[in-house]
Homo-oligomer: A and B are copies of this chain.
Amino acid sequence: MKKHWIAIDWGTSNFRAFLMKEHECLDQISAPCGLLHVPDRQFAATLKPLIGNWLDEFPQLPVLMAGMVGSQQGWQEVPYVALPAGCQQLAKYTAVLETPWGSPCRIVAGVSGNNEFGLPDVMRGEEIQLIGLAARHPAPQNSQYVILPGTHSKHAELHNGEIRQFSTFMTGEIYSVMLSHSLLGRDVPPAPEDEPAFALGVTHAQRAPHLSNALFSARTLRLNGVLAPDQVASYLSGLLIGAELHAVAHKQAWIVGSPALTERYTRAAKQLGITLNSADGNACFIQGMTQIYQCLNGESA
Contact = CB atoms under 8 A, between A and B. Distances in A.
Given A177-B181, A178-B177, A181-B180, A119 B220 contact: yes
A171 B182 CA distance: 12
In the assembly, how many copies of this chain are there? 2
A183 interface: yes
A76 to B, nearest CB: 17
B244 A117 contact: no
Contacts of A207: 117-119
A216 B246 CA distance: 17
Contacts of A182: 170, 173-174, 177
A32 interface: no
Which residue of A117, A122, A204 has the most chain B CB atoms within 10 A of its CB atom?
Answer: A117
Contact of A117 (B112, B117, B119, B213): B213
Contacts of A169: 210, 212-213, 216
A171 B152 CA distance: 21
Given A183-B173, A243-B210, A216 B152 contact: yes
A107 to B, nearest CB: 17
Interface string A204-215: 100111111111
A174 B247 CA distance: 21
A231 interface: no
B212 A170 contact: yes
Contact of A211 (B167, B212, B224): B212
Interface string A178-196: 1011110000000000000
Measured as residues with beta carbon below 8 angstroms from the partner, the interface class of chain A is 35 or more
Contacts of A291: none
Contacts of A180: 181
Contacts of A122: 219-220, 223
A85 to B, nearest CB: 16
A22 interface: no
A168 interface: yes
18 contacts: A119-B208, A119-B214, A119-B217, A120-B223, A121-B220, A122-B219, A168-B213, A169-B213, A171-B212, A173-B182, A174-B178, A174-B212, A174-B215, A177-B182, A210-B243, A210-B247, A211-B212, A212-B244
The 4 A-B pairs of least Cβ separation, nearest first, read: A117-B208, A211-B211, A120-B220, A168-B216
Interface of A: 112, 115, 117-122, 152, 167-171, 173-174, 177-178, 180-183, 204, 207-217, 219-221, 223-224, 226, 240, 243-244, 246-247
